[in-house]
Chains A and B, each alone.
Chain A
Amino acid sequence: MDLKYTPEEEAFRARVRAFIEAELPADFRDRMRLGKRVRKEDLVRWQRILHRHGWGAVMWPTRFGGTGWNVIQQHIFEEERADIGAPPQNAFSLKMLAPVLMTFANSAQAEYFLPRIIAGEDWWCQGYSEPGSGSDLASLRTSAVRRGDHYLVNGQKTWNTWGQYADWIFCLVRTSTEGRPQEGISFLLIDMKSPGITLKPITMLDGEHEINEIWFDNVQVPAQNLVGEENKGWTYAKFLLTHERTNNAGIGSCKRALKHLKEIAAEQVSHGRPLIEDARFRDRIAQVELELMALEITNLRVLSAGKPESRSLGPEVSVLKIKGSEIQQTLAELQMRALGPDALPYLREALEMDWVADPSFAEHYRPYAPPLSGQYFNLRKTTIYAGSTEIQKNIISQLILGL
């Protein structure tokens, strides 16, 4: 039992940090640090920089071009990335789809898609939820009917993240209505340029365009884009979700957010003194910091207990998802609350790099202020997406507790 990093791990950390410090483009770093709108071009640029260095996929085994890092190395990379202010990579392709392709796809699919993902050539999004199928995902109705060498896809997906940027979408579709709902689902890869796909933005509560509805109207999908076996898609989807939930612990991002919260609380003034000297506010920070300290160790305990060869984890990841999402929300809430009345202004243009505050306004309204309220509102999604907190508790009670 030991919580210390080995000298090799510390050296690794220094190497990761030095690389990111040197290679993360300065303009992008400023954009991230100030909470400005993130653009696809920046994310793709960063993916390509990482790929050139051989670090395009930190969770992948080496035989697919990944780094082959163990869970501790991945954790260190994630901490350093977040601390410096580099963006997370596209989780839909690298962390969700890729493990499915590695495990269930045929070699032609894996050999075509995986290199394109790691090189930043294809941007993937996810087609899971439907208007009538949220937490009850297995009730989904988007249909794929086999017609010779292709499937004809009809239906509607929703809550799709960043589909406006995507080249491809991986979808759960219904290929059979026989038996249990779970038994008629297939996993299909669809080119977003296919005729018959319509994308409609959904404006979120922070006023931003992050998610979409997607309609499929007689979309032809080559049968070779089916992953694994027809009607076995639910198995792959569940496999994918355990990977998705692992990432949602978000320890590195939470540590960065906590640091930022302390910086804000040190600069904001209350009763003529730094807000962080107000014990009432500081205790709120202390409480969430304690939750995060505990979760960091819980996360490492769960990761260390997983079998490295399977690269998949048990239902314990639900604990990480519940706690990680709550901590993210609390940190965002405290960042906003730290602003006090300066949390009220809603300045959409302030999320662009070229925005300049009116001089008198800037006397009290700090450069870090514009994104904070929106981030608080936006992050309410974290306890809802990827299996809501309530679904995670169902999983814990059924799969861990046996209730």
Chain B
Amino acid sequence: MDFNYSDEQIALQETLQRFIGRDYGFERRRELARSALGFSAEAWAQYADLGLLSLPFPEEFGGLGGNAVDIMLVMELVGRGLLLEPFSSTVVMCGGLIRDAASEPLKRTMLPRIGAGEIKLALACYEAEGRYELSQVACTAVGGGSSGSGWRLSGRKTVVLDASSADYFLVSARPGGDAAHAHGISLFLVGREAAGLTLFAYPTQSGGRAADLRLDGVAVDANALIGAPGEGLAIVERAVERGIAALCAEAVGIITALNEATLNYLKTRKQFGVPIGKFQALQHRMADMFIAAEQARSMAVMAAVYADSDDSALRRRAVSGAKAYIGQAARFVGQQAVQMHGAMGVVDDLIVSHYFKRLTMIDLSLGDVDFHLARFSDMLA
């Protein structure tokens, strides 16, 4: 039982904090969100220099051998800085998936390039009919016979996070049959330039980028398959669980920053001749927000620690529990932070509304409160 960060972790935290303070102020972030790319290519290069992009990869692939707690620490600052770069998609989810499930040659090809900042990836595993259910896969993969001739992928993937800048996609598909069946799903690596792949790209409510993907007989070769054919669901779930743990930490970073901003406002904004923080109704609300932040932090720690576990039931319970809990805490803190800022809370000029929107979109990404509460609850019976 140990709740302390190591010296290396503290050093990493301080470096990233300095970077955000120096190069990623709120105004800069707003410009980036409105830019064509939607994030900072320079920042991405700096993350590579800092080792962030190879953080969770084994040393033999040029990585730093970090764990989910390292990711938590980074993601908390991603939250605080409202960083827009596709770190979670590329490094945590797709990079983690390749590390966990890809063949040696593919790892050797992909992981060092991810770590160097040369390529970006996006996870294309949700479809319109499935909402948050990863087993809902109508996308088809035809071929894969003994000839080793590869597959042709057809179908659609919806709201693929960080798709517009991705060089590769990880796409779930199945030979056909029942689109909701847990078995039969395979996972493929698809290049951005593949013939038959089209994107409908759009910004998201919280400043990021996403796209719907359309695959019309996209040809991939035999090496594009990741993991055993038909066994892709567990691989994708594990990647998404890592992504959820990362989102939980991001949310805690935002909750903490929002509480600081709100507390500061309570101490400086005067009405009726006194700082509004003198009013007990607001003091108690702020105390509730503080409690929510502490509890949310505990859940993010739990999610991070168990995200690395090999026990899938334990992992699922911890990750879904944390996502359901933090989603509710984030909603409470986000809404109250806006409320306590009064009209200042509902304008675009203040970071408060941007934090609030990001928290809201975090809840709606990778399974919302209801989805994960049901998963957690179903494991009780």
> Which residue from A5, A290, A300, A323 sits with its C-beta under 8 Å from B325?
A290
> Which chain B residues border A396 with CB–CB below 8 Å?
287, 290-291
With CB as the reference atom, state the residue of chain A lying closest to B73: A1
How many chain A residues have a CB neighbour from B under 8 Å? 45
> Which chain A residues border B294 with CB–CB below 8 Å?
298, 301, 316, 319
> Which chain B residues border A295 with CB–CB below 8 Å?
295, 298
> Which chain A residues border B288 with CB–CB below 8 Å?
393
Residue of B267, B298, B324 with most chain A CB atoms under a 10 A cut-off:
B298
B5 at the interface (CB under 8 A from A): yes
In the complex, A274 Cα to B380 Cα: how many Å?
13
In the complex, A330 Cα to B374 Cα: how many Å?
19
B272 at the interface (CB under 8 A from A): no
B305 at the interface (CB under 8 A from A): yes
B376 at the interface (CB under 8 A from A): yes
> Which residue from A9, A72, A297, A390 sits with its C-beta under 8 Å from B302?
A297
In the complex, A262 Cα to B267 Cα: how many Å?
45
> Which chain A residues border B298 with CB–CB below 8 Å?
293-298, 301
> Which chain B residues border A1 with CB–CB below 8 Å?
2-5, 9, 69, 72, 301, 304-305
In the complex, A308 Cα to B373 Cα: how many Å?
37
Q: Are B283 and A393 in contact (CB under 8 A)?
A: yes
Residue of A9, A323, A396 with most chain B CB atoms under a 10 A cut-off:
A396
> Which chain A residues border B325 with CB–CB below 8 Å?
290-291, 293-294
> Which chain B residues border A319 with CB–CB below 8 Å?
290-291, 294
A305 at the interface (CB under 8 A from B): yes
In the complex, A124 Cα to B159 Cα: how many Å?
64
Q: Are A279 and B374 in contact (CB under 8 A)?
A: yes
A289 at the interface (CB under 8 A from B): yes
B181 at the interface (CB under 8 A from A): no
A7 at the interface (CB under 8 A from B): no
Q: Are A283 and B283 in contact (CB under 8 A)?
A: no
In the complex, A323 Cα to B325 Cα: how many Å?
14
- Of residues 266 to 302 in B, which have CB atoms within 8 Å of A's CB atoms? 266-267, 277-278, 280, 283-284, 286-288, 290-291, 294-299, 301-302
In the complex, A400 Cα to B283 Cα: how many Å?
11
> Binary interface profile of B, 90-107, with partner A (CB < 8 Å = 1, else 0)?
000000000000000000
B377 at the interface (CB under 8 A from A): yes
With known contacts A3-B301, A294-B298, A396-B287, A282–B377 Cβ distance under 8 A: yes
B1 at the interface (CB under 8 A from A): yes
A4 at the interface (CB under 8 A from B): yes
B381 at the interface (CB under 8 A from A): yes
B17 vs chain A, min Cβ distance (A): 18
> Which residue from A2, A285, A400, A403 sits with its C-beta under 8 Å from B267?
A403
A276 at the interface (CB under 8 A from B): yes
> Which chain A residues border B305 with CB–CB below 8 Å?
1-3
B225 at the interface (CB under 8 A from A): no
A194 at the interface (CB under 8 A from B): no
> Which chain B residues border A390 with CB–CB below 8 Å?
284
With CB as the reference atom, state the residue of chain A lying closest to B298: A297
> Binary interface profile of A, 95-128, with partner B (CB < 8 Å = 1, else 0)?
0000000000000000000000000000000000
B321 at the interface (CB under 8 A from A): yes
Q: Are A282 and B5 in contact (CB under 8 A)?
A: no
> Binary interface profile of A, 376-403, with partner B (CB < 8 Å = 1, else 0)?
0000000000000010111011001111
Residue of B3, B69, B263, B324 with most chain A CB atoms under a 10 A cut-off:
B3
Q: Are A290 and B381 in contact (CB under 8 A)?
A: no
Q: Are B295 and A300 in contact (CB under 8 A)?
A: no
B216 vs chain A, min Cβ distance (A): 40
Q: Are B295 and A401 in contact (CB under 8 A)?
A: no
Q: Are A402 and B3 in contact (CB under 8 A)?
A: no
With known contacts A2-B305, A393-B288, A401-B290, A294–B377 Cβ distance under 8 A: no
A360 vs chain B, min Cβ distance (A): 31
Q: Are A393 and B1 in contact (CB under 8 A)?
A: no
With known contacts A295-B298, A322-B291, A4–B1 Cβ distance under 8 A: yes
> Binary interface profile of A, 243-269, with partner B (CB < 8 Å = 1, else 0)?
000000000000000000010000000
With known contacts A282-B380, A396-B290, A293–B299 Cβ distance under 8 A: yes
> Which chain B residues border A403 with CB–CB below 8 Å?
263, 266-267, 277-278, 283, 286
In the complex, A287 Cα to B372 Cα: how many Å?
11
With known contacts A294-B325, A394-B283, A286–B291 Cβ distance under 8 A: no
A30 at the interface (CB under 8 A from B): no
In the complex, A116 Cα to B4 Cα: how many Å?
39
A62 at the interface (CB under 8 A from B): no
A277 at the interface (CB under 8 A from B): yes
> Which residue from B4, B266, B287, B302 sits with its C-beta under 8 Å from A393?
B287
With known contacts A286-B376, A287-B373, A293-B302, A298–B381 Cβ distance under 8 A: no
> Which chain A residues border B301 with CB–CB below 8 Å?
1, 3, 297, 301
With CB as the reference atom, state the residue of chain A lying closest to B375: A286
A227 vs chain B, min Cβ distance (A): 32
B375 vs chain A, min Cβ distance (A): 10
B309 vs chain A, min Cβ distance (A): 10
With CB as the reference atom, state the residue of chain B lying closest to A9: B1
> Which chain B residues border A305 with CB–CB below 8 Å?
3
In the complex, A316 Cα to B302 Cα: how many Å?
20
> Binary interface profile of B, 350-372, with partner A (CB < 8 Å = 1, else 0)?
00000000000000000000000
With known contacts A298-B295, A396-B291, A290–B302 Cβ distance under 8 A: no
A224 at the interface (CB under 8 A from B): no
With known contacts A293-B299, A293-B321, A285–B5 Cβ distance under 8 A: no
In the complex, A282 Cα to B373 Cα: how many Å?
10
- 28 CB contacts below 8 A, A to B, read A1-B304, A2-B1, A2-B2, A4-B1, A262-B380, A276-B381, A286-B373, A286-B377, A289-B376, A289-B380, A290-B299, A290-B325, A291-B295, A293-B298, A294-B325, A297-B301, A298-B294, A298-B295, A298-B298, A301-B297, A323-B295, A394-B284, A397-B277, A397-B284, A400-B290, A401-B287, A402-B267, A403-B266
Q: Which 4 A-B pairs have the closest CB atoms?
A: A297-B298, A286-B377, A397-B283, A393-B287
